[in-house]
Chains A and B, each alone.
Chain A
Amino acid sequence: MEKFIKHTGSGVPLRRSNVDTDQIIPAVYLKRVTRNGFEDGLFSAWRSDPEFVLNKEEFKSGTVLVAGPEFGTGSSREHAVWALQNYGFKAVISSRFADIFRGNSLKGGLLTVILPQEAVEALWVAIESNPATAITVDLETRTVTYNDVTVAFELDDYTRWRLMEGLDDIGLTLKHTDSIDAFEAKRPSYKPKTLPIRV
């Protein structure tokens, strides 16, 4: 995973709440067996509308998505994170994210930043009045900065450290194989197994 320390880019204002993962990437686009190439499915239903924000010239190069509350509800599909990343987004800002989507994003290195709704509104206004507004998301200081505004956000130390180091979760867990072995040795024998098959 790529390290995330700090990112500066322009924003894309998505003034919608409850953007579920079926909107981020509809099921018909989930058929690939790789992790790339999902950008064509991103917000596909809305992208047929020329007025949709991603179709506007001034927002085409945005890398920071600024969305309404309850972003990423619904299906657990990690393809939603891949689609956003494949398209070029590095960070998503919202006042509330659905749990599974947030987990997926932070595991995959797409930084999801929670800001108060007033801060999101102010950011929307700033981007809409000047689409070139540079937004910096800084994990070191845990802040979002644009123009002369700086807003702090929270992220637990562990996740922050993992993102800044670009560490793979599986590798980290495998360091504790001894604890897993010890746990398994004590598991009760009545716990079900899928193999051998019983009928």
Chain B
Amino acid sequence: MGKTLAEKIWEDHIVRSAAGEPDLLYIDLQLIHEVTSAQAFDGLRLAGRQVRRPDLTIATEDHNTPTIDILKPIADPVSKLQIDTLRNNAKEFGIRIHSLGDADQGVVHVVGPQLGITQPGMTIVCGDSHTSTHGAFGAIAFGIGTSEVEHVLATQTLPSSRPKTMAINVEGTLKTGVTAKDIILAIIAQIGTGGGQGYIIEYRGSAIRELSMEGRMTVCNMSIEAGARAGLIAPDQKTFDYIKGKPHAPEDFAAAQSYWETLFTDADAKFDVEITLNADELEPFVTWGTNPGQGLPLNASVPNPAEIKDSEERGAAERALQYMGLEAGTPLKKIAIDTVFLGSCTNGRIEDLRAAASVLEGKKIAPKLRMLVVPGSERVRQQAMKEGLDKVFIDAGAEWRNAGCSMCLGMNPDQLAVGERSASTSNRNFEGRQGKGGRTHLVSPLVAAATAIRGTLSSPADL
């Protein structure tokens, strides 16, 4: 019997396997950032251990960095401590680091692909659950905890039990205005936040093939919101073209590509589970609740919890509506928004900025609304400025910031106030995620831009 893509990559990385034990998996690349690494380096130091492969490790600063005045000393003393700790650790252990102000600083999952060090057939880890983003290149990429970060630093391997495989086939053609973000929000609404638990998801089908590499990254990015260990997409010519010319593209490109071309699911392979979605029917999607599975097409209304059969889900919906300050039956398009956040590793790449700018061009954002545009990396920021996108945003009344995670997780000063409501292109709408008491609606960049103009959840078609 044939093998799935995930099985092929997995098997190519087994250092050791023994009955009754997890496989010992070789890790091709570890990405590091300031929030989940300090304790790992500390552990190494205490045990007198070294980093086995500094040349397969790269660090950047993103989660807790300011997005304004980046060259001034960091005002928050604890943030400063974390950043300083990372810089010292990188120096001590000989790890490459891209610090604030550096051309390659940015959200860790934007940085890997833009450097060309994210490639097909790799195993990639990072102390961040959205590592699944890199799966868009046909890699097994997953988030790990700090103890595992330490484990990979010390051994370049990770004991891991083999996940099951799931195929999600998205067949058909997306309507204008429907994006990769809408695909993944619709998938999560369908399978639930635990639907992918224990699986590596392979996204397949004509609608996935049609997506750009950046769109594929958006889809894979939110695999974790469906509970999956990882998500991936078989590499194709688009993938190869994207990597070509990047700083760390293979020198012997032909040799690499001939391996990459073997990375697909065999016709006779079997997935543990298969799900199919019709792309023709998809609409712009938004979330109404406090987990990413609580989403609906933008034309729908806030659901009535009383109509939900499952008692757990009903309770969760009731609590969500209360937290979100929403009435059942309210059309989603009537929901007024205070803040629009465009950015994050889900939707902070150049195509996302272009999409939003195309809607905002020559228009103004609604009075009293604030819009934050935070590029995913410094390179994305530079590119956007070259194209004049910064002017479009600024002229529309938005704030143009430096790169980082920013309001995606509300760790730095970019936060929502209590009761403030956002439309956000990020990936998590948990209670308090963007600031204590803040209310988040997850949206695509197109919906974010249209919402900024109208002041209520909207799509470009409503303008």
A190 touches B79 (CB 8 A): no
Contacting pair B250 A190 (CB below 8 A) = yes
Judge whether B64 and A194 touch: CB under 8 Å. Answer: no
Alpha-carbon gap, A189 to B197, bound state (A):
34
**Which residues of B, 175-221, contact A by the 8 Å Cβ criterion?**
193-194, 197-198
Taking a contact as CB atoms under 8 Å apart, the answer to whether A183 and B227 are in contact is no
Q: With an 8 A cutoff between CB atoms, is A30 at the interface?
A: yes
- In the complex, which residues 58-98 of chain A have their Cβ closer than 8 Å to any Cβ of chain B? 68-70, 73-79, 81, 96, 98
Residues of chain A within 8 A (CB-CB) of B82 are 31, 33
Instruction: Give the residues in chain B near A17, CB-CB below 8 Å.
Output: 312, 315-316
Does the CB pair B251–A190 fall under 8 Å? Answer: yes
Which chain B residues numbered 407 to 463 have a C-beta less than 8 Å away from chain A? 409-411, 428, 430-433, 436
Contact string against B for A residues 27-44, beta-carbon threshold 8 Å, 1 for contact and 0 otherwise:
110111111000000000
B393 at the interface (CB under 8 A from A): no
A193 partner residues in chain B, CB cutoff 8 A: 55-56, 248
A50 at the interface (CB under 8 A from B): no
Q: Which residues A157-199 have CB closer than 8 A to chain B?
A: 157-158, 169-170, 172-174, 176-177, 179-180, 183-184, 187-195, 197-199
Chain A residues in 8 Å Cβ range of B395: none
- Let me know if A9 is at the binding interface, CB within 8 A: no
Pick from A35, A183, A190: contact of B255, CB under 8 Å: A190
If A30-B411, A69-B194 touch, whether A194 touches B55 (CB-CB below 8 Å) is yes
Cβ of B146 within 8 Å of any chain A Cβ, yes or no, is: yes
| Interface presence of B145 (CB below 8 A) | yes
Residue of A nearest to B126 (CB): A76
Q: Which residue of B lies closest to A198 (CB)?
A: B247
A179 and B16 contacting across the interface, CB-CB below 8 Å? yes
A45 near B432: Cβ-Cβ < 8 Å: yes
Interface residue count on the B side (C-beta < 8 Å): 82
Enumerate chain B residues within 8 angstroms of A99, measured Cβ to Cβ.
197-198, 227, 229
Cβ–Cβ < 8 Å partners of B259 in chain A: 188, 190
Q: A76-B36, A180-B157 are in contact. Are A195 and B55 (CB under 8 A)?
A: yes
Q: Assess whether B143 is in contact with A100, with CB atoms less than 8 Å apart.
A: yes
Q: Which residues of B contact A103 (CB under 8 A)?
A: 144-145, 148
Residue B283 lies at the interface, judged by CB distance under 8 Å to chain A: no
Whether A8 sits at the interface, judged by CB under 8 Å, is: no
Question: From residue 270 to 294 of chain B, which have CB atoms closer than 8 A to chain A?
Answer: 291
Check B54 for interface membership: any CB of A closer than 8 A.
yes
Q: Is B352 located at the chain interface by the 8 A CB criterion?
A: no
State whether A81 touches B252 (Cβ < 8 A): no
- Contact across chains for B143 and A170 when beta carbons are under 8 A apart: no
If A73-B227, A174-B154, A179-B15 touch, does A33 touch B85 (CB 8 Å cutoff)?
A: yes
26 contacts between A and B (CB under 8 A): A17-B316, A18-B193, A20-B291, A20-B428, A22-B431, A23-B431, A27-B410, A31-B64, A31-B81, A74-B224, A74-B430, A78-B36, A79-B146, A98-B197, A100-B129, A156-B20, A173-B159, A174-B155, A180-B155, A184-B156, A188-B259, A190-B252, A192-B116, A193-B248, A194-B117, A195-B96
